[in-house]
């Protein structure tokens, strides 16, 4: 072995263990619960692996010059394995700003067919592209916060770093969506709760003052006021339950479900729970299911809540003595569930606002029926999380049809969502 080869072998022998040691330390810290600093640990792990990459590239270059020609591997197998284990998306770019590697988390963002595509195609965020162009080798990583409005709003903190040891640039994305949503949900919950609870709380407080005052000894008034107070208390309970449910659904809206769900038993379970209401409203609930209906990718509990809300509205606002018809069908890789009522219908100009929080076409009637104004908002966010669509058709004097369209299991399972 020549002296030159010996020096290269020695460098390789100590560089790889050093890099792997740093990577192992980062992984251990992550496993021990330091995930709140996941992005920093991710960058440290990336730097360690790049040191190993640089050593490997130098060793391969030496072999090319000294012995036989061989195409250097831009990312050795051990480095690929380490990147794959990172929970945050990582993208490696060559000198021409084209992708040479994306770990599993990044492939979920940009798709599996990423190789050799330019950054501008994979991540359409101008601030990230600018950081890649301006960051200098070996400097502290550039940090950028960015948001993607479609298909579902997500927030990221991007770390961009260029290696001083290898012609590679790293883009690491740390998902801040859950944190941002938690902050927004907290603010929305306080605002909505304080606004919507003010009326029933004022009513209950007023009746308590009355019962303590001149109606103290009036038996008839006391029974009447206690009945109203009970109704208002139930209204507050329903409102709080719907607010909590909506907050929980919105918090996880950016995380698509992954379970295989058969819709027929879900719909029939929701209908069975509403049978007493249908009977009290003198409404006949009918369900028809197409043969060989495919499954969908979904969350069975959320889907049950979705169809309960739609059928509950159809029963409440339908015609007494009429029918509510629920039909399940499949077409072109999609599964649809349509809920039709025979109610008064909805004015055309009101339809676009139906899924807004606390929007009511008829405020008085909604409150008389026990509505909170949140049912269709909950439906909308569940549909969004399931990558579906909600169609609303209505004719005044005839009735309304609410149709939920969801991807069938085979199609949804193979779908890739592009977020940047």
Would you say residue 268 lies in a domain?
yes
Q: Which of 241-255, 296-310, 379-393 has the lowest mean pLDDT?
A: 241-255
Same-domain status, 230 and 262: no
pLDDT on residue 204? 83
| Most distant CA pair in the chain, distance | 110
CB proximity list for 141: less than 8 A, separation 6 or greater: 43, 135, 159, 160, 161, 170, 172
Residue 98 three-state SS: strand
Q: What is the DSSP string of 159-179?
A: EEEE-SSSS-EEEEEEE-HHH
Same-domain status, 10 and 99: yes
pLDDT on residue 66? 46
pLDDT on residue 46? 54
pLDDT on residue 47? 53
Structurally, the chain folds into a number of domains equal to: 3
Same-domain status, 156 and 183: no
Helix axes 77-85, 3-31, angle to 10 degrees: 10
Q: Which of 193, 225, 255 is the last residue of a domain?
A: 255
Same-domain status, 323 and 200: no
Q: How far apart are CA 420 and CA 64, in angstroms?
A: 39
C-alpha 345 chain-centroid distance: 32
Residues in the chain: 420
Q: Which of 126, 151, 175 is the last residue of a domain?
A: 175
Give the Å distances, CA to CA, from 388 to 245, 288, 328, 381, 382: 19, 21, 15, 10, 9
Q: Determine if the pTM surpasses 0.75.
A: no
Q: Which of 132, 152, 175 is the last residue of a domain?
A: 175
Same-domain status, 297 and 409: yes
Print the domain residue range for 19.
3-175
Query: How many alpha carbons lie under 13 Å from residue 189 in its C-beta half-sphere?
Result: 18
Q: What is the DSSP string of 53-69?
A: HHHHHHHHHHHHHHS--
C-alpha 53 chain-centroid distance: 35
Look at residue 52 and tell me whether its pLDDT is greater than 80: no
Q: Which of 337, 383, 375, 384 is nearest to 356 (CA)?
A: 375
Look at residue 294 and tell me whether its pLDDT is greater than 90: yes
Q: How far apart are CA 367 and CA 389, in angstroms?
A: 28
pLDDT on residue 18? 44
Would you say residue 420 lies in a domain?
no
Q: Which of the given ranges, 13-17, 61-65, 86-90, 153-157, has the highest pLDDT on average?
A: 86-90
Same-domain status, 202 and 275: no
Q: What is the mean pLDDT of the chain?
A: 78
Same-domain status, 134 and 187: no
Long-range contacts of 317-321 (CB under 8 A, 24+ apart): 317/341, 317/343, 317/344, 317/369, 317/400, 318/281, 318/283, 318/342, 318/343, 318/399, 319/283, 319/343, 319/344, 319/399, 320/281, 320/282, 320/283, 321/282, 321/283
pLDDT tens profile 296-341: 999 999 999 999 999 999 998 888 889 999 999 999 899 999 999 9
pLDDT tens profile 13-38: 444 444 444 444 444 344 344 444 55
Q: Which of 86-95, 191-200, 263-272, 278-287 has the lowest mean pLDDT?
A: 191-200
Would you say residue 346 lies in a domain?
yes
Please return the burial class of 121, using the count of CB atoms within 10 Å of its CB with bins 0-12, 13-18 and 19+.
exposed
Same-domain status, 33 and 166: yes
Same-domain status, 203 and 265: no
Would you say residue 181 lies in a domain?
yes
If residue 324 lies in a helix (H) or strand (E), which one and from where to where?
A: strand 323-331
Confidence of residue 273 (pLDDT cuts 50, 70, 90): very high
- We report the CATH number of the domain holding residue 167 as 3.30.450.20
pLDDT tens profile 99-116: 999 999 888 888 888 989
């Amino acid at each position: 072995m020549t002296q030159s080869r010996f020096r290269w072998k020695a460098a390789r022998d100590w560089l790889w263990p050093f890099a792997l040691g740093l990577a192992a330390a980062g992984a251990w810290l992550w496993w021990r619960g330091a995930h709140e600093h996941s992005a920093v640990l991710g960058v440290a792990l990336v730097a360690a692996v790049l040191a190993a990459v640089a050593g490997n590239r130098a060793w391969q270059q030496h072999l090319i010059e000294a012995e036989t020609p061989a195409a250097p591997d831009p990312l050795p197998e051990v480095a690929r394995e380490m990147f794959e284990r990172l929970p945050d998306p990582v993208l490696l770019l060559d000198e021409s700003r084209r992708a040479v590697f994306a770990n599993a988390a990044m492939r979920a963002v940009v798709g599996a067919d990423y190789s050799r595509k330019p950054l501008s195609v994979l991540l359409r965020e101008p601030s990230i592209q600018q950081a890649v162009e301006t960051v200098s080798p070996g400097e502290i990583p550039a940090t950028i916060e960015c948001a993607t409005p479609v298909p579902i709003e997500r927030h990221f903190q991007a770390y961009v770093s260029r290696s001083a040891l290898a012609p590679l640039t790293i883009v690491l994305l740390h998902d801040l969506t859950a944190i941002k949503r938690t902050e927004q949900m907290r603010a929305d919950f306080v605002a909505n709760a304080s606004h919507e609870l003010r009326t029933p709380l004022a009513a209950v407080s007023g009746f308590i003052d009355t019962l303590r005052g001149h109606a103290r000894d009036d038996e008839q008034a006391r029974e009447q006021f206690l009945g109203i107070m009970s109704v208002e208390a139930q209204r507050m309970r329903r409102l709080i339950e719907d607010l909590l449910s909506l907050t929980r659904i919105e918090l996880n809206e950016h995380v698509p479900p992954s379970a295989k769900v058969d819709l027929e038993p879900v719909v029939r379970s929701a209908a069975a729970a509403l049978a007493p209401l249908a009977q009290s409203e003198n409404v006949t609930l009918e369900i028809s299911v197409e043969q060989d209906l495919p499954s969908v990718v979904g969350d069975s509990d959320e889907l049950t809540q979705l169809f309960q809300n739609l059928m509950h509205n159809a029963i409440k606002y339908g015609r007494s003595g009429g029918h509510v018809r629920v039909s399940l069908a499949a077409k072109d890789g999609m599964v649809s569930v349509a809920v039709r009522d025979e109610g008064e219908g909805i004015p055309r100009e009101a339809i676009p606002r139906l899924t807004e929080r606390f929007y009511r076409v008829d405020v008085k009637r909604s409150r008389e029926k026990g509505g909170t104004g949140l049912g269709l908002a909950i439906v909308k966010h569940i549909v969004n999380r399931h990558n579906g669509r909600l169609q609303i058709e209505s004719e005044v004097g005839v009735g309304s049809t609410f149709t939920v369209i969801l991807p069938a299991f085979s199609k949804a399972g193979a779908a890739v969502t592009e977020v940047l």
